[in-house]
Amino acid sequence: MTLTKKGYLPRIADAKIEQLMASFGAICVEGPKWCGKTWTTLNHAESVYYVADPALNYQNRQLASIDPSRALSGKEPHAIDEWQEVPGIWDAVRFEVDQQQNRGRFILTGSVMPPKQATAHSGVGWIARLRMRPMTLYESGHTSDEVSFSRLVSGDSFPPRSTLCQIETSIDEIANFTSRGGWPDTRGLSLNAALELPRQYISETANTDMSLVDGIPRDPLKVGALLRSLARNNQTMVRNSTLAKDIGLYAEAGISVSAPTVQSYLDALGRLYVIEEIPVWNPNMRSSKRIKTAPKRHFVDPSLAVAALGATPEKLISDLNTFGFLFETLVARDIKVYAEALGAMTYHYNDDSGLKVDLVVEMQDGSWSAFEVKLGASQADEAAASLIRLKSKMLKSGVKAPNCLAVICGVSRFGYVRDDSVVVLPITALKA
pLDDT for 380-411, tens place per residue?
Answer: 999 999 999 999 999 999 999 999 999 999 99
Run of H or E residues at 268 = helix 259-271
Radius of gyration (Cα) for the chain, nearest Å? 22
pLDDT confidence bin for 292, thresholds 50/70/90:
confident
Is the pLDDT confidence value at 334 over 90?
Answer: yes
pLDDT confidence bin for 286, thresholds 50/70/90:
low
Whole-structure pTM value:
0.94
284 to 167, 366, 397: CA distances (angstroms): 39, 12, 9
Rounded mean pLDDT, 280-299: 78
Q: pLDDT tens across 192-205, in order?
A: 999 999 999 999 99
Q: What is the mean pLDDT of the chain?
A: 93
Q: 22-26, 120-124, 179-183, 426-430 — which is least confidently predicted?
A: 120-124
Q: Report domain extents, the chain.
A: 13-131, 147-431
The answer to whether 431 and 138 are in contact (CB under 8 A) is: yes
Rounded mean pLDDT, 261-279: 96
pLDDT for residue 62: 97
Q: pLDDT tens across 83-122, in order?
A: 999 999 999 999 999 998 899 999 999 999 987 656 656 6
pLDDT for residue 204: 97
pLDDT for residue 159: 87
Run of H or E residues at 417 = strand 414-417
Is the pLDDT confidence value at 414 over 80?
Answer: yes
Q: 113-117, 140-144, 237-241, 375-379 — which is least confidently predicted?
A: 113-117
The answer to whether 424 and 406 are in contact (CB under 8 A) is: yes
Is the pLDDT confidence value at 291 over 90?
Answer: no
| Alpha-carbon span 3 to 255, nearest angstrom | 48
pLDDT for residue 131: 97
Length of the chain: 432
pLDDT confidence bin for 323, thresholds 50/70/90:
very high
pLDDT for residue 248: 82
Q: pLDDT tens across 10-19, in order?
A: 999 999 999 9
Is the pLDDT confidence value at 419 over 70?
Answer: yes
**Which position has the higher pLDDT, 161 or 359?**
359
CATH number of 13-131: 3.40.50
pLDDT confidence bin for 240, thresholds 50/70/90:
very high
